[in-house]
Amino acid sequence: MTAGLQGSLMVDVAGTWLTAEDRQLLRQPEVGGLIIFARNIEHPRQVRELSASIRAIRPDLLLAVDQEGGRVQRLRQGFVRLPAMRAIADNPNAEDLAEQCGWIMATEVLAVGLDLSFAPVLDLDYQRSAVVGTRSFEGNPERAALLAGAFIRGMNSAGMAATGKHFPGHGWAEADSHVAIPSDERSLEEIRANDLVPFARLSKQLAAVMPAHVIYPQVDSQPAGFSRRWLQDILRGELQFDGVIFSDDLSMAGAHVVGDAASRIEAALTAGCDMGLVCNDRAAAELALSAAQRLKVKPSARIARMRGRAYASTEYRQDPRWLAAIGALKEAQLID
């Protein structure tokens, strides 16, 4: 593999430390990233040690987590319990508070040796999708873009690149793509006028985008993450997006429409994803790895841009900015 280029597969591990089997998997050059979940986390020091043990094997590996705030927050014990993004929107200082949340989240994630959180959510809150719900900033596309842009500024100032999800918008489809194959029957014109607005407004600020496991039948018969129409024509072409495209977890039910794990990783990479996530299923990850080895996919140079630019000091809680940010969120009654 060319120096500086990451592999096209992101995997996970089962526990709070690495097994011999994990180490063998992580040594494969086709593996370019690892995502941690709640089961991998005890407290900040343990996560730092896990990150260090991973980097001892593969210093180049991209380390990720889902740390949005609200109910999607893997790092809990010893970390700030951030509000759901929807709770910010009605505050008169919403834009400033969104930026503070982005900075706090990124600072804590970087401090335990991880590179990024897959955030922010750019889906619109139509009061339809239970899986999106309060994870969304707003139902109004311009307002959602404004607040998400502020959250991204906070992330960036802490040293973290931002990932917008779930392109082109998961807020209208009612089914949960973790357990079903959602469909959004609206026209491209309607989606473009609403759900695409945050992605279009923020396309230059986003370092990465994660597409939805949702089928938009008026646009393409494939879910967005497997669709060249969505990823190449619209995201790359129309929105002029030049960042990383991460698949959503290819083990989710919404991805099963294209076949087994080998078929899914092949379909995602062929459609235009730079890196495919295969999580919570080691057998599927090994099948996807074999497929990636067989495909000989050229690694994407874009992925290196996602590395955390500077790991925060573990003494960040003494930083005047930290104290001010926490104070602002407490004053707004967004955290305890």
Find residue 244's DSSP bridge partners: 208
Q: pLDDT for 180-235, tens place per residue?
A: 688 999 999 999 999 999 999 999 999 999 999 899 999 999 999 999 999 999 99
Asked whether the beta carbons of 313 and 111 are under 8 A apart, the reply is yes
pLDDT (average), residues 71-82: 88
Residue 197 makes CB contacts below 8 A (sequence gap 6+) with: 141, 142, 144, 145
Q: Which two tokens stand for residue 227?
A: 């669709």
Question: Cα separation of 47 and 241, whole Å?
Answer: 33
> Pick the catalytic residue: 22, 248, 249, 274?
248
d(CA 220, CA 99): 36
Residue 176, pLDDT score: 64
Give the whole-number percent of the chain exceeding pLDDT 90.
70
Q: In terms of residues, how long is the chain?
A: 336
φ/ψ (deg, to 5) at 107 = -60, -45
Question: Residue 88 above 80 pLDDT?
Answer: yes
> If DSSP codes are grouped into helix, strand and coil, which group holds residue 73?
strand
pLDDT tens per residue, range 266-282: 999 999 999 999 998 89
Distance between CA atoms of 245 and 163, rounded to whole angstroms?
Answer: 9
Could you confirm whether 166 is annotated as catalytic?
no
Asked about 115 being catalytic, the answer comes back as no
Backbone angles phi, psi at 68, to 5 degrees: -85, -35
Phi-psi region of 133 (alpha: psi -120 to 50; beta: other; left: phi over 0): left
Whole-model pTM: value is 0.93
